[in-house]
Structure 1
């Protein structure tokens, strides 16, 4: 098991590259838990998303895993929140 990483802070209304923030290599399977109070929007993209991307909502206190070999993982919160991100085994 890898060492736990510090939480990823999502500022209000800013897309955050989860792989860049954590230092985890893009394409690695992740476990992402919303440990903040506000809903997070997630999307798979190699670059910062623009309108027209498919989105997945992650409510507070819930978690999700992505698929291995994703091209990128981005998160957004309109109110700001925190994510705990770990490599999935």
Structure 2
């Protein structure tokens, strides 16, 4: 199982219903998720053979901030947290 740890932009949140809907899609590899303040953890049961997986979900702005920090995404193996390629691309965020 692979875990994607995705930070959220300052002042934004993700709604549980949106992730539930995404998780229930037929061709989806997301088996579980966790929402924590400022981040989302996605648990994937499989990854593409080429190692390229793209996930997208809507986020909602809850307050404005003059200091919006860059977002990061880290990918790692659930059973071996030290094993992984580290930081993932956040293009398009």
Q: Give the TM-score of the pair, scaled to structure 1.
A: 0.36
Which has the higher Rg, Structure 1 or Structure 2?
A: 2
Higher RCO (CA 8 Å, separation ≥ 6 residues): 1
Q: Give the TM-score of the pair, scaled to structure 2.
A: 0.35
